[in-house]
């Protein structure tokens, strides 16, 4: 008890008196005390700076929102320590690496990061590591509170639905179930043609033509082509590993051999390297297919479609025998949403080319051949396909009879959120909390915080 009182007194003195100066000429001080935890003005501004460095707008409302999030986190953190939860160090290191790399890339290197934050990267790494360790404990505590909600029975779900207005029931969007048979063009021939073109461009550059000019004229990466192919100083972790490995192996001014990534084929010129960061130019070319490729694939798909219509072969058997897409061939052609794994697609999750092929079909009908893309790389590879429309579930307001799973998940999510809100409200009443009057005008979501603002 005596140790707690001494610790509390030290924290209380900190909130009353300023400490050291920090970036921007402002005086750092403790702006909130939550039990034995405290939040400083520099902690808050560090969070604001990080969000600004990642492109988010900053205003007073942002500071109020961030402060409330930090206050809530302290309540969960205190309970996590009471519950003896342990830090997920693997998650912390992964998140820390991503955050550091994102900021270094956004600002242009370690020197610019140090200038922006007023401290070296190693210091930021230490501070952010501590923050992320606290975040790990906070998230685990939130998950523990949420998972403590008893499993819901159908009676629980029905009872909850009976207490709410029908207008707040979730809208279930229209869903499509589809199957496909895919044929790829001759990718080897297309890759060979692209490699020959890149080798020609590389030879022209080595013989004196400017890489930047070639990139503006020929590169198929629109973001960098207008800048002469230049990518800017960035961490190697944000690129495909094949690209980063090739770039890091080059000395500034050297031109790489052809590098293949899921985006296509590149040649690279490194401009500068610092540690695990580099600035490079590149020219990206993607395999392109001819009218003959398309016509050949369409003719094959038409013959498969005709065989299904006239020869008694089922679509499922044809998909297993003829389709060149391994993901759907083994599943008799049935397509799955790559984001959810579900056999049902929301309309806005269907590729535009695929939707145009099926939008006028009746259930069970098969589309004409269409050119589309697969799910590989950022933009997908060209593929030709026929699509069967298996089922449409029209858009509708969720009902207990037809959408129990969606309603169960929705109600459980609401119950979990209510439990977290109740935890915060209860802990605000039970915990010693002082908030600096600097934030007296904040419109906090949880009303209890307002009563914790210290009077001048």
DSSP classification of residue 171: E
Q: What is the pLDDT of residue 27?
A: 65
Does the pLDDT value for residue 274 go beyond 90? no
Does the pLDDT value for residue 295 go beyond 70? yes
Q: What is the pLDDT of residue 24?
A: 43
Q: What is the pLDDT of residue 434?
A: 95
Quote the mean pLDDT of the chain.
Answer: 87
Which architecture characterizes domain 175-187+289-394 according to CATH? Roll (3.10)
pLDDT digits (tens, 9 = 90+) for 63-78: 899 999 999 999 999 9
Does the pLDDT value for residue 143 go beyond 90? yes
Please tell us whether the domain made up of 192-285 is placed in CATH 3.100.10.20.
Answer: no
Does the pLDDT value for residue 452 go beyond 80? yes
Rg, the chain, Cα only: 29
Does the pLDDT value for residue 3 go beyond 50? no
Average pLDDT over residues 141-155: 93
Does the pLDDT value for residue 1 go beyond 60? no
2-150+415-452, CATH topology level: Triger factor/SurA peptide-binding fold (1.10.4030)
pLDDT digits (tens, 9 = 90+) for 380-435: 889 999 999 999 999 998 888 888 888 998 899 999 999 999 999 999 999 999 99
pLDDT digits (tens, 9 = 90+) for 82-105: 999 999 898 899 899 888 888 888
Domain ranges of the chain: 2-150+415-452, 175-187+289-394, 192-285
Q: What is the pLDDT of residue 21?
A: 37
Alpha carbon distances (Å) from 367 to 309, 315, 345, 355 = 12, 12, 17, 10
242/253 Cα distance (integer angstroms): 19
Report the share of the chain in percent with pLDDT over 90: 57
Helix 60-82 × helix 121-147 angle, to 10°? 70
Does the pLDDT value for residue 330 go beyond 80? yes
Average pLDDT over residues 178-205: 94
DSSP classification of residue 446: S
Residue that has been written with the tokens 């590989």 in this structure: 376
| 151's tokens | 């499993």
Average pLDDT over residues 189-212: 94
Whether 2-150+415-452 shares its CATH topology with 192-285 is answered no
């Amino acid at each position: 008890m005596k140790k707690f009182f001494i610790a509390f007194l030290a924290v209380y003195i900190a909130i009353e008196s300023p400490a050291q100066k920090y970036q921007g000429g402002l005086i750092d001080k403790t702006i909130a005390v939550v039990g034995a935890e405290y939040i400083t003005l520099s902690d808050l501004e560090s969070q604001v700076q990080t969000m600004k460095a990642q492109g988010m707008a900053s205003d007073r409302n942002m500071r109020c929102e961030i402060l409330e999030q930090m206050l809530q986190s302290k309540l969960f953190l205190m309970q996590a320590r009471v519950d003896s939860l342990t830090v997920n160090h693997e998650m912390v290191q992964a998140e820390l690496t991503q955050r550091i790399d994102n900021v270094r890339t956004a600002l242009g290197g370690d020197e610019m990061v140090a200038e922006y934050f007023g401290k070296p990267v190693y210091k930021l790494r230490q501070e952010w590591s501590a923050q992320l360790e606290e975040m790990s404990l906070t998230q685990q505590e939130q998950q523990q509170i949420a998972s403590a909600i008893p499993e819901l029975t159908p009676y629980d779900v029905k009872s909850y639905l009976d207490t709410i207005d029908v207008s707040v029931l979730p809208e279930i969007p229209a869903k499509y179930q589809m199957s496909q048979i895919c044929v790829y063009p001759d990718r080897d021939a297309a890759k060979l043609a692209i490699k020959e073109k890149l080798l020609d461009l590389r030879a022209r550059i080595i013989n004196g033509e400017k890489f930047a000019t070639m990139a503006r004229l020929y590169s198929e990466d629109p973001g960098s082509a207008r800048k002469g192919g230049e990518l800017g100083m960035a961490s190697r972790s944000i690129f495909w590993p094949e690209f980063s490995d090739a770039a890091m192996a080059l000395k500034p001014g050297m031109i790489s051999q052809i590098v293949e990534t899921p985006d296509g084929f590149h040649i690279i010129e490194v401009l500068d390297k610092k540690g695990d960061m580099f600035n490079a130019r590149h020219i990206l070319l993607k395999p392109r297919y001819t009218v003959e490729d398309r016509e050949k694939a369409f003719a094959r798909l038409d013959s498969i479609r005709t065989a299904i219509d006239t020869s008694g072969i089922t679509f499922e058997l044809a998909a297993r025998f003829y389709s060149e897409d391994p993901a759907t061939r083994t599943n008799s052609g049935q397509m799955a949403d790559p984001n959810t794994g579900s056999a049902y697609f929301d309309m806005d999750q269907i590729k535009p080319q695929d939707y145009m092929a099926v939008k006028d079909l009746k259930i069970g009908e098969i589309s004409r051949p269409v050119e589309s893309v697969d799910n590989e790389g950022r933009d997908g590879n060209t593929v030709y396909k026929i699509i069967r429309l298996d089922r449409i579930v029209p858009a509708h307001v969720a009902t207990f009879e037809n959408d129990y799973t969606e309603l169960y998940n929705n109600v459980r999510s609401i119950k979990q959120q209510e439990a977290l809100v109740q935890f915060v409200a209860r802990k605000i009443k039970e915990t010693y909390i002082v908030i600096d009057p600097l934030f007296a005008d904040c419109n906090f979501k949880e009303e209890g915080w307002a009563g914790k603002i210290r009077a001048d």
